């Protein structure tokens, strides 16, 4: 599976098989997280076998996580500039690489317990959100997207192919409550994505930028 297939096939999965991640894959995930931390200066941690983190009243009630016990905790220094956006960007890299390893994921910012989780956070650090990881009971399904005209202010009939590929991938990116509060433009030869603001939109922005860049091969402002 290549990165574009991973973008197409990734959907949030909240029900997992009751089996541990095989040790070889755990080692690969750890190496990937170390690589991301070295590049970004973030402090992501892989936590396995921690069911309590997902054991919250409203998670049972609404969102239906089942056998969710493994996750990546997206942690960084509180004073790091653009902490949320960077967590989104590097978190999505991990999500897509994880999909390519045959696992499934779900971004989780609300329906988990920071207090009960095994994450180790220093006083000068913040836990931004987590990404659940496991072997899905299902593959999830494609989210309903806003129409492309709402999310992209460029005439796609005249836009370069790389830009169209980037837009397609951006529309498939996960966003909190599927809010898709972003706008894509073209400034000269460079793509620019801005956030319309609101809760969790900074994390979303990093995620959407990663999808665009990974599919188009072009950096995003
Ligand atoms: C920053 C962020 C936070 C999220 N928080 C939660 C959450 O707390 N609980 C949950 O069940 N899903 C959560 N999601 C998953 C979104 O609901 C999901 O990505 C969105 O509906 C789009 O669906 P898809 O991921 O299947 O494409 C979150 C997603 C993002 C990007």
Span 141-162, pLDDT tens digits:
999 999 999 999 999 999 999 9
pLDDT at 60 over 70: no
CA of 189 relative to ligand 1 center, distance in Å: 31
Provide the CATH number for the domain formed by 148-216 in this structure: 3.40.109.30
Task: Determine if ligand 1 sits within 6 Å of the CB of residue 63.
Answer: yes
Q: Which atom of ligand 1 is nearest to the CA of 111?
A: 8
113/122 Cα distance (integer angstroms) = 17
Ligand 1 atom 10: residue of nearest CA: 108
Q: What percent of the chain has pLDDT over 90?
A: 95
pTM over 0.75? The answer is yes
Dist. CA 205 → ligand 1 center (Å): 13
Predicted confidence (pLDDT) per residue in 100-125, tens digit: 999 999 999 999 999 999 999 999 99
53 lines ligand 1 (CB under 6 A): no
Please name the residue whose Cα sits nearest to atom 21 of ligand 1: 178
| Per-residue pLDDT, 58 | 65
Q: 3-134 and 148-216: same fold?
A: yes
- The answer on pLDDT for 57 being more than 90 is no
- Cα(163) to centroid of ligand 1, in Å? 25
Task: Calculate mean pLDDT across residues 199-205.
Answer: 98
For residue 64, what pLDDT band results from cuts at 50, 70 and 90? Answer: confident
| Mean pLDDT, range 186-195, rounded to an integer | 96
> How confident is the model over 191-215, as a mean pLDDT?
98
Q: How many whole angstroms from 180 Cα to the centroid of ligand 1?
A: 11
pLDDT at 196: 98
Ligand 1: does its nearest atom lie under 6 Å from the Cβ of 107? yes
Q: Which atom of ligand 1 is nearest to the CA of 207?
A: 31
Class of domain 3-134: alpha beta
Domain ranges of the chain: 3-134, 148-216
**pLDDT surpasses 70 at 73:** yes
DSSP code per residue over the chain? --HHHHHHH-----BB-SSPPPHHHHHHHHHHHHHHHHHH----EEE-S-GGGG--HHIIIII--BS--EEEEEEEETTSTTHHHHHHHHHHHHHHHHHHTT-EEEEESSSS-TTTS-----TTEEEEEEEEEE-BSS---PPPPPPHHHHB-S-TTTS-HHHHHHHHHHHTS--GGG---EEEEEETTEEEEEE--STTHHHHHHHHHHHHHHHHSS-B-
Specify the pLDDT at position 59. Answer: 56
Q: Atom of ligand 1 at shortest distance to CA of 13? A: 26
Q: How much is the pLDDT for 55?
A: 86
| Average pLDDT value over all residues in the chain | 96
Question: Does position 61 have pLDDT exceeding 60, yes or no?
Answer: no
Averaged pLDDT, 39-49: 98
178 ligand 1 Cβ < 6 A: yes
């Amino acid at each position: 599976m290549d990165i574009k297939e991973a973008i197409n096939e990734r959907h949030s999965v909240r029900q997992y098989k009751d089996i541990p991640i095989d040790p070889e894959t755990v080692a690969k995930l750890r190496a990937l997280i170390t690589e991301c931390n070295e590049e970004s200066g973030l402090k992501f941690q892989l936590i396995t076998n921690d069911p309590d983190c997902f054991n919250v009243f409203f998670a049972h009630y609404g969102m239906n996580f089942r056998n969710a016990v493994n996750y990546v905790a997206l942690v960084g220094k509180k004073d790091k500039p653009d902490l949320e956006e960077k967590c989104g960007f590097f978190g999505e890299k991990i999500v897509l690489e994880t999909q390519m390893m045959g696992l499934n994921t779900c971004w989780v910012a609300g329906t988990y317990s920071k207090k009960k989780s095994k994450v180790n956070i220093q006083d000068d650090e913040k836990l931004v959100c987590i990404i659940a990881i496991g072997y899905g009971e299902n593959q999830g399904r494609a989210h309903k997207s806003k129409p492309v005209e709402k999310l992209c202010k460029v005439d796609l009939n005249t836009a370069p192919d790389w830009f169209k590929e980037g837009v397609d991938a951006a529309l498939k990116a996960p966003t909190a409550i599927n809010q898709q509060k972003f706008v894509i433009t073209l400034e000269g030869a460079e793509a620019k994505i801005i956030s319309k603001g609101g809760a969790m939109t900074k994390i979303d922005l990093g995620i959407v930028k990663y999808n665009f860049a990974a599919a188009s091969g072009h950096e995003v402002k």
